[in-house]
Amino acid sequence: MILIIDDDIAVCASLNLLLKQEGFKSIKANGPEEALGHLKEKAIDAVLLDMNFSMETSGEDGLVMLDKIKELRPSLPVILMTGWGSIRLAVEGMKAGAADFINKPWDNDHLMNALRTALDLSAEQQTPLALTRKKLNEKYGFENIVGEDPQLLEVLQTIVRVCSTDVSVLIIGESGTGKELIAEAIHENSLRRHKSFVKVNLGGISSSLFESEMFGHKRGAFTDARSDRVGRFELADKGTIFLDEIGDLDLNSQVKLLRVLQDRKYEVLGDSRTRSVDLRVVCATNRDLREMIADNKFREDLYYRINLIIIRLPPLRERAADIPVLTNYFLKNMKEIYNRPGLRIDKKTLNWLESLPLPGNIRELKNLIERTVLLSERDLLGIKDFEQHLEQQRLSNVAMTLPAVGTVSVDDMELSMIRNAMVFHQNNISRVAKALGMSRGTLYRKLEKYNIPYETQN
Ligand SMILES: Nc1ncnc2c1ncn2[C@@H]1O[C@H](COP(=O)(O)OP(=O)(O)OP(=O)(O)O)[C@@H](O)[C@H]1O
């Protein structure tokens, strides 16, 4: 049964009707006494609490009410209903343990979605889960998320807990720790798995292009809009949108994003019709959003909109014991990809890899292994083989600090990469092509294009 706390008769009546149509029983309370009475006597599963439930007050009473509910039933999901003006209260409420907040006037679908998610989540939380790694793989297909570290197992258990709900998830962790992999696993195990998973790198979208990229545009909406463009939200409709590098979004774009995440509504540029979108939101960042909020660089209300569940991925240095299993996993994949069934690595080398700092985390480990496999002729990889390429990788990572926008063209960058690779591999075309991830044919064409001397090799 759902408890509605609001003193507005019309609001109570329409919520009651909506809940009834959706198959829920509800009961209303006009004020705190009545609400607490119901909570003690009835089997309440969730609460819809109007922050301004008492007409005479500023809304602070809503927070007091929330505290009382939480005291009585700490795990009961409470959804706050707030006006736009009282967003600060909603944020305070989320800090105090509310499950979600909805703006008034509310959208029925959005409200029901939030309520179902909160109910699913609280039911999941009550089921103790302690599946073994093997069982997790069998049931949820986590074979590609390798590791035995307790922190990683905890992450996998969290995915299991939240995957069938629509709750927003924020994944935090350093670069290369597997945030995208986890976002995909959430989608793959959700009810939305047959719909699209759309990844957007927000770090790569400038403020001026944000709306057109995310919401789409109509032909002629602005000078460069030569044809219609479908926005990322539309592409992700009914599926999952993965907003990577959310900490890199500027404040202007944050407001625009917040509106869609609040109301699931947006307008395509050049088209005044308001559209609705139904999606699961997963965000990721390697930045400290709390610190950014303190510095006024990230909106607190957006933070509470995206962080209903936080998954923290540990850096590899906190789970170095996983390095050998990760290495063996990557090596096994590479045996197949590069058709080198004899590839292996000895225990001493595995121990040595485990002692490496690897600030680029799992991505750095994977790249190091791949590079070493590609460039070593021997099948038994030893410390020396790795050392040589580690140095090279570090150097290329340093070089990855990209020049300022506008100072260098993509062609210039490509030219320098090819030149470097040619010097490094002493003009061996096959190796250069492999190292740059292109076919020999493409490499030959580019050598011609840039007038780089080479000898034709078979
Ligand atoms: N636990 C893991 N098991 C196997 N492979 C992993 C694991 N974690 C990460 N990887 C691999 O490491 C690479 C980097 O992972 P991913 O792109 O998910 O990291 P990220 O945290 O999203 O990085 P960034 O912040 O730079 O975008 C990918 O190739 C991914 O498949």
Provide the H-helix boundaries in 200-273.
Answer: 210-215, 232-235, 251-263
Q: What domain range includes position 95? A: 2-126
435 and 394 in one domain?
Answer: no
282 and 181 in one domain?
Answer: yes
User: In this predicted structure, what is the pLDDT of residue 135?
Assistant: 86
99 and 150 in one domain?
Answer: no
- Distance from C-alpha of 242 to C-alpha of 214, rounded to nearest angstrom: 12
User: In this predicted structure, what is the pLDDT of residue 30?
Assistant: 84
Give the amino acid at 246. I
61 and 49 in one domain?
Answer: yes
273 and 166 in one domain?
Answer: yes
Hey, whose CA ends up nearest to atom 31 of ligand 1? 181
282 and 162 in one domain?
Answer: yes
Residues in the chain predicted with pLDDT less than 70, given as ranges, are 53-59, 84-86, 124-130, 391-404, 406, 456-458
Q: Has residue 455 been placed in a domain? A: no
8-state DSSP, 237:
T
- Distance from C-alpha of 372 to C-alpha of 431, rounded to nearest angstrom: 12
- Distance from C-alpha of 198 to C-alpha of 431, rounded to nearest angstrom: 34
| Domain of residue 430, CATH code | 1.10.10
Q: What does the pLDDT look like over 363-407, one tens digit per residue?
A: 999 999 998 998 888 899 999 888 877 766 666 655 555 666 767
Q: Measuring from each residue's beta carbon to the nearest atom of ligand 1, which residues come in under 6 Å?
A: 144-147, 173, 175-181, 244, 286, 326, 362-363, 366
pTM for this prediction: 0.76
ipTM of this predicted structure: 0.98
What stretches of 257-389 adopt beta strand conformation (E)? 265-267, 274-276, 280-285, 309-312, 344-345, 380-381
Question: From the CA of 114, how far away is ligand 1's center (Å)?
Answer: 30
User: In this predicted structure, what is the pLDDT of residue 41?
Assistant: 85
Hey, whose CA ends up nearest to atom 30 of ligand 1? 178
382 and 254 in one domain?
Answer: no
**Residue of 418, 409, 349, 416 whose CA lies nearest to 378:** 349
User: In this predicted structure, what is the pLDDT of residue 128?
Assistant: 55
| Residue that is written with structure tokens 């939240």 in the block | 162
Question: From the CA of 375, how far away is ligand 1's center (Å)?
Answer: 23
Q: What does the pLDDT look like over 177-210, one tens digit per residue?
A: 999 999 999 999 999 999 999 999 998 788 888 9
Q: Cα–Cα distances in Å, from 430 out to 342, 377, 416, 442, 457?
A: 21, 13, 18, 11, 8
User: In this predicted structure, what is the pLDDT of residue 458?
Assistant: 57
| Residue that is written with structure tokens 């030149």 in the block | 419
Q: Given ligand 1 and candidates 177, 313, 367, which is best to mutate, with the most ligand atoms within 8 Å of its CB?
A: 177
- Distance from C-alpha of 372 to C-alpha of 366, rounded to nearest angstrom: 10
User: In this predicted structure, what is the pLDDT of residue 400?
Assistant: 57
What domain count does the chain have?
4
User: In this predicted structure, what is the pLDDT of residue 124?
Assistant: 63
| Domain of residue 78, CATH code | 3.40.50.2300
User: In this predicted structure, what is the pLDDT of residue 397?
Assistant: 59
281 and 159 in one domain?
Answer: yes
389 and 354 in one domain?
Answer: yes
Please name every residue paired with 48 in a beta bridge, in sequence order, or none if there are none: 4, 79
- Distance from C-alpha of 275 to C-alpha of 202, rounded to nearest angstrom: 22
User: In this predicted structure, what is the pLDDT of residue 303?
Assistant: 94
Q: Cα–Cα distances in Å, from 49 out to 94, 118, 222, 259?
A: 12, 14, 43, 21
Question: From the CA of 350, how far away is ligand 1's center (Å)?
Answer: 20
Q: Has residue 404 been placed in a domain? A: no
415 and 334 in one domain?
Answer: no
Hey, whose CA ends up nearest to atom 25 of ligand 1? 175
Question: From the CA of 16, how far away is ligand 1's center (Å)?
Answer: 46
